[in-house]
Chains A and B, each alone.
Chain A
Amino acid sequence: MKLYYFSEMPHHEFPDEEGEKYPSLRLELPNRFFSPQKAAANYQRYLTEYEFADQAGFDGLMINEHHSTPSCVNVGVNMTAAILARTTKRGKLLLLGNILPIEDNPVRTAEQIAMADLISGGRVLSGFVRGIGIETWWANTNPVHNRERFEECHDLILKCWTEPGPFRWEGRHYHFRHVNPWCLPLQKPHPPIWIPGSASPETAVWAGRRGYTYVPFLVPFDIARELFDFYRQGAAEAGRAVTADNLGFLICAVTADTKAKAVEAGRHFVWRMGPTLRGPAEYFAPVGMRSRAGAQFALKTRPRSLAQMSYEELLAGHFIIAGTPDEVAERFAYVQRELGVGHLLLEAQESRMDHPTTMRSIELMGAKVIPALATV
């Protein structure tokens, strides 16, 4: 099983009591709480941690993108990919990912991913996401068009990568008369495509049909199994075999020299489960963004929201894994046995988890956990 290091690059440097005054930290917390000085230092720190994770032996570095939120100030997945493409040498660069429905120019997206792939020597894993509603508000893209735009944007990017230009694209949402990108991926026919999921059965089926790697985020095991079944259903429709390499899972994880230290550090993940997901449903899933099936499945996905769970419950449910290297290696192996995944994505820094703690966790993962999992 391959391990991936991930940080959302949070900017949790404001008083929590200020954040509580607003209906949500996303969209509504005024950006006067954003500190350019602290953010400038944070970016250096977070990139250093990514680079160290590469050196420590992680199989890949996952990067994501959000907007209008202190929970994630990585606002350009392709920008970060381009940096890490130069400053890292080994690990895959897992972009998870470009938010397709809010893209107005898929040709530019295709070029930027291709450029990161070229600079990195073909290490890009290109994730495509539908985004949460927050990104729809940020971009002011009609949520009713979310899935249509996701699929059409995907189709155009794939065509950019796989069919010779120039060609014309006249779709429903995208219109380009002269498509002929002079920047194509190093990997052929194109970088592997990854798709995350947490609620939409349609997305799982869609990914399965195409043989993309599918990764549920922070859901209970039984929900992950159900989503994997939808994935297998799609794969079967297309006559594709499903292996562990097609399936991944995302959790939060930290290790330290002692269990006590790790458990203490793991508390930082509670912030991303609760305060950063607080807010009206309309912010996170504006009208029309989810199909009826997706909406019903979403209710089932989290009968109790992550925000309602105590730290102990989050640990018990494997949403967070925190322990000594031996303990987390054992838990990771358990996740692998339970779900049969080939990729485990670790959200490994959060909130105010400090640099030394993060670096030590990375170091121990590299020295002890990754070797222990070599045969898992």
Chain B
Amino acid sequence: MRPHEETISVGGIDVHAWIGGQGDPLLVLHGAGGNRGWTRWVQQVSEHFTVWAPTHPGFGRSGDADWMEGIDDLARFYLWFIDAAGLGRPHVLGHSIGGWTAAEMAAMSPPSIGRLVLVAPVGLKPETGEILDVFYYPPPQLLDLTVHDPKTIPEWDELFGRKPTPPELEIATRNREMAARLTWKPYMHNPRLARFLPRVTNPTLIVWGREDRIVPVECGEQYRRLLPHATLTVREKCGHLPPIEQPDAFARLVLDFLPAPLPAAPGHARS
């Protein structure tokens, strides 16, 4: 399926989504920066999985969700999305607040999802460090803190290299507002999540950047300890955006972790 955009109505909210690829469904949940669309790593993974990359309610071109109060609301909403979109039992990959959302979904309903990929997720309070207060910094300064080295990022120019247009600025503001709505207090974590993570029996891959200045790597260790079937991979010379900073290596990690699709027999639809 060629990548295309759709609007899917769930619970009265029109959810904008990128959809494309082939194979079992993989639900991709973006971080606080918003849905970056069909980027390089998504293209590579979509050669083996059907990627569903919705834009969170309140973000980008999705409808408003002023009633939402926290990431647990978003997680419950995406469990509904899975039903509404007919995804069956998708694998779920989430980055940052999307990773937190994925972890909450798995803790709420392990049988609803297949495998779990958590990329630098927030959601747990670090034991010693702190999650950077992303709302305290002007966006350009925050971007500097988010990545390790712009020079190594293949899609830098395309994603960050030009001045945003007024509509793009409007969307960026909207994204920040919704992120604030969902994560302001307790800041970027759910004090009760750790109690529920041991329920998550789904095989889980955790990916982190060694130089992540937004969410300390120790949070990855916490997730690994609390999730019964999790491995942690820490990428060197990488900040908070492994899928963007190291797209090829990231796509390979994901493809190595997710179960290889069965070869489709002629005349048989793969279940």
Residues of A within 8 A of B (CB): 137, 140-144, 280-283, 286-288
Contact = CB atoms under 8 A, between A and B. Distances in A.
A286 B137 contact: no
Contacts of A288: 176-177, 180-181
A142 B181 CA distance: 7
Interface of B: 135-138, 173, 176-177, 180-181, 184-185, 187
A144 B185 contact: no
Contacts of B136: 137, 280, 282-283
Contacts of A143: 180, 184
* Nearest 4 A/B pairs, CB to CB: A142-B184, A288-B177, A287-B176, A144-B181
A81 to B, nearest CB: 29
Contacts of B177: 144, 287-288
B46 to A, nearest CB: 32
Contacts of A283: 136
A280 B180 CA distance: 18
A282 B138 contact: yes
Contacts of B135: 282, 286-287
A122 B181 CA distance: 40
B180 A286 contact: yes
A265 B213 CA distance: 47
A140 B185 CA distance: 7
Contact of A287 (B180, B185, B187): B180
Given A142-B181, A144-B181, A288-B177, 14 more contacts: A140-B184, A142-B185, A143-B180, A144-B180, A144-B184, A280-B138, A281-B138, A282-B137, A286-B180, A287-B135, A287-B176, A287-B177, A288-B176, A288-B180
Nearest to B139: A282
Contacts of A281: 138
B57 to A, nearest CB: 14
Contacts of A142: 180-181, 184-185
B125 to A, nearest CB: 15
Contacts of B185: 140-142
B79 to A, nearest CB: 24
A142 B187 CA distance: 10
Contacts of A137: 136
Contacts of B180: 142-144, 286-288
A286 B180 CA distance: 9
Nearest to B142: A282
A255 to B, nearest CB: 41
Contacts of A280: 136-138
A137 B135 CA distance: 10
A137 B185 CA distance: 11
A141 B184 CA distance: 8
A287 B137 contact: no
29 contacts: A137-B136, A140-B184, A140-B185, A140-B187, A141-B185, A142-B180, A142-B181, A142-B185, A143-B180, A143-B184, A144-B180, A144-B181, A280-B136, A280-B137, A280-B138, A281-B138, A282-B136, A282-B137, A282-B138, A286-B135, A286-B180, A287-B135, A287-B173, A287-B176, A287-B177, A287-B180, A288-B176, A288-B180, A288-B181
A286 B138 CA distance: 10
Contacts of B187: 140
Nearest to B175: A287
A125 B253 CA distance: 65
Nearest to A287: B176
Which of A142, A144, A287 has its CB near the most chain B CB atoms (within 10 A)? A287
Contacts of A287: 135, 173, 176-177, 180
Contacts of B137: 280, 282
A143 B185 CA distance: 11
A137 to B, nearest CB: 8
Contacts of A140: 184-185, 187
Contacts of B181: 142, 144, 288
A231 to B, nearest CB: 27
A144 B173 CA distance: 12
A317 to B, nearest CB: 28
B265 to A, nearest CB: 52
Nearest to A144: B181
Contacts of B173: 287
